[in-house]
Every structure is written in structure tokens, then in C-alpha cells.
């Protein structure tokens, strides 16, 4: 059974904004999938549908055979890390255990030994064990995102979702963070779906790429199949490739043409 299954998912906001339009695909255990597409393509909506924050208008979504809910089976890494800046990296990672704990324990913040061990193990996975007592507010943007990944890992999720997790970081920090996310997924055989707008970074870390545009899946394939023509088509449409010099996304989307030909 696939971990993620979407069947003909359609999401319409406010009666006339079609964000997802007949999206169907499965993701198997341990796959590391990157969702690509221009702004407004439907990437965030897709991730929200997967974590149960948004209900599809029609169609079916299942995570390990069950409808996605607010339960602990899906861990989420956000574009903004949403850490508690005054708390240590360790305490922030530990809050990932709250979603499993229920509201009473959340109130009492009585963490079990197993939760504490999970927090330290997760910080180790993202290379921050030595910094575990450092206040989140004093960390770099990349370190904060790594704490955000650790917090999601502490939930022991069946599926890890990441919505533009490195969009606010410089390229080096972005690569670092993606490297740790990939390592975490491999170590734990964790199925991962991440949306990224930096195509060059996506190519480095993704195993499988799903390109969406106008709410529809335009591409679903491997790194080898993700050619520059496919990227141009995805971001600019078939007839406009090469005619986007003034487009803001040129830097991100065009970057692979120089270095990523494999």
C-alpha cells in the first residue's frame, strides 16, 4: 500500500479559484518527492490537503489508507520555522512530542524519557546535538530550520511534509538544511514530500519530482527525466521558454541550465 494516495483531487476556493484540478498520484514508503511549480500553481494547497488542514472539494486523499487528520502521523516543516525563540533547541524539538501527548500532558508538559531521548536523537540527526542548549533565538536561519526538522522528527511521523522549507535561506544554508532533511529521511526510511521553488536545489536532493502548474500535474518523473525543457515548460509554458528575461523567477528556474546537465 502506498503511504500517500491522491485520487482525482480537486480543490476550489470561494467557488471559482481552482487550486487543484484532478490531481492523482501515489507515493511509496521511503520516497523523497519534491513538488515544483510556479507561484500560484497549487503547491501549498497540495501540502495542506496532505496534512489535513484543507479538505479537497472532491476526490480522495489517504495517508497509509486513512484520511489525513490532525493526528501525529504527519510531521510538517514550515517555511517560517515557528520556534519559541526564548527556548533552547532541545525544548523546541521536544514540543514535537506534544502532538502525540494529548492536551492534558501538553498542559502539564510532563515529557516522558522516551520523548527526551527522541528529541536528542532528532537533534543529532540534524547535526545540532552540541547546540541543544542554545537558545533558538540566537541561532542562524539554517539552524532554526534544522530545529524545525528535529521537532517534526520527534513526532515520529509516517509522512514528513515540508512547505518551501528553505525559501528564506541563502543557497549554502538551503543546501545544508536540505542535506539534513534528506539524511533524516534516509536514516528513518521516512516518506517525504517537500515543495521547493529553487529548481537547482530540488534537483540535488529529490529522487522524484512532481511538477504542477494551474493545479494540474504536468510532470512526474526522476532527476534524469527533469530536463531543462520540462522545467521551462513547467514555469513558463511551452512557447515562452527563453522569453522570460524580466521574470523574477528566472534566477531560480534558469539556474540548472548552467550546472545541472547530467
Indicate the residue among 19 and 119 with the shorter CB distance to ligand ADP.
Answer: 19
Q: How far is the CB of 23 from ligand ADP (least distance, A)?
A: 11
Q: What number of chain residues touch ligand ADP (CB under 6 A)?
A: 12
Indicate the residue among 21 and 207 with the shorter CB distance to ligand ADP.
Answer: 21
Q: How far is the CB of 262 from ligand ADP (least distance, A)?
A: 26
Nearest residue to 155 via CA among 57, 72, 44, 34: 72
Q: How far is the CB of 215 from ligand ADP (least distance, A)?
A: 7
Q: How far is the CB of 17 from ligand ADP (least distance, A)?
A: 5
Q: Name all contacts of 82-88 with Cβ < 8 Å and 24+ positions apart.
A: 82/148, 83/136, 83/144, 83/147, 83/148, 83/151, 84/136, 85/135, 85/136, 85/137, 86/135, 86/136, 86/137, 87/135, 87/136, 88/132, 88/133, 88/134, 88/135, 88/136
Nearest residue to 182 via CA among 164, 212, 156, 202: 202
Q: Is residue 157 a contact residue for ligand ADP (CB under 6 A)? A: no
Indicate the residue among 42 and 256 with the shorter CB distance to ligand ADP.
Answer: 42
Nearest residue to 232 via CA among 220, 221, 217, 218: 218
Evaluated on CA atoms 139, 143, 149, 151, the torsion sign reads negative
Q: Is residue 166 a contact residue for ligand ADP (CB under 6 A)? A: no
Q: Is residue 171 a contact residue for ligand ADP (CB under 6 A)? A: no
Q: Is residue 213 a contact residue for ligand ADP (CB under 6 A)? A: no
Site residues (CB under 6 A) for ligand ADP, limited to 4-43: 13-14, 17, 19, 37, 39-43
Indicate the residue among 39 and 140 with the shorter CB distance to ligand ADP.
Answer: 39
Indicate the residue among 40 and 67 with the shorter CB distance to ligand ADP.
Answer: 40
- Given phi > 0 = left and psi -120 to 50 = alpha, else beta, which region is 227? beta
Q: Is residue 51 a contact residue for ligand ADP (CB under 6 A)? A: no
Q: How far is the CB of 9 from ligand ADP (least distance, A)?
A: 12
Nearest residue to 164 via CA among 70, 36, 25: 36
Contact set with ligand ADP (CB under 6 A): 13-14, 17, 19, 37, 39-45
Amino acid at each position: 500500500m502506498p503511504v500517500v494516495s491522491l485520487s482525482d483531487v480537486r480543490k476550489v476556493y470561494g467557488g471559482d479559484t481552482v487550486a487543484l484540478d484532478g490531481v492523482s498520484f501515489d507515493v511509496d514508503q521511503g520516497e523523497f518527492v519534491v513538488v515544483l511549480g510556479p507561484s500560484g500553481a497549487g503547491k501549498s494547497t497540495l501540502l495542506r490537503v496532505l496534512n489535513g488542514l484543507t479538505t479537497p472539494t472532491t476526490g480522495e486523499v489517504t495517508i497509509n489508507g486513512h484520511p489525513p487528520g490532525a493526528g501525529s502521523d504527519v510531521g510538517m516543516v514550515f517555511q517560517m520555522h515557528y520556534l519559541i525563540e526564548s527556548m533552547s533547541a532541545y525544548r523546541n524539538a521536544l514540543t514535537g512530542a506534544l502532538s502525540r501527548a494529548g492536551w492534558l500532558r501538553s498542559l502539564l508538559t510532563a515529557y516522558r524519557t522516551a520523548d527526551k531521548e527522541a528529541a536528542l536523537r532528532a537533534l543529532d540527526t540534524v547535526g545540532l546535538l552540541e547546540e541543544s542548549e542554545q537558545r533558538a533565538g540566537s541561532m542562524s536561519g539554517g539552524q532554526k530550520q534544522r530545529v524545525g526538522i528535529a521537532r517534526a522528527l520527534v513526532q515520529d511521523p509516517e509522512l514528513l511534509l515540508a512547505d518551501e522549507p528553505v525559501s528564506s535561506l541563502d543557497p549554502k544554508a538551503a543546501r545544508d538544511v536540505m542535506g539534513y532533511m534528506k539524511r533524516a529521511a534516509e536514516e528513518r526510511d521516512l516518506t517525504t514530500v517537500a515543495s521547493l521553488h529553487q529548481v537547482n536545489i530540488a534537483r540535488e536532493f529529490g529522487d522524484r519530482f512532481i511538477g504542477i502548474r494551474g493545479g494540474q500535474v504536468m510532470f512526474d518523473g526522476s532527476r534524469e527525466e527533469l530536463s531543462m525543457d520540462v522545467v521551462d515548460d513547467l514555469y513558463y509554458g511551452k512557447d515562452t521558454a527563453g522569453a522570460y528575461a524580466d521574470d523574477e523567477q528566472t534566477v531560480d528556474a534558469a539556474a540548472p541550465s548552467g550546472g545541472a546537465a547530467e
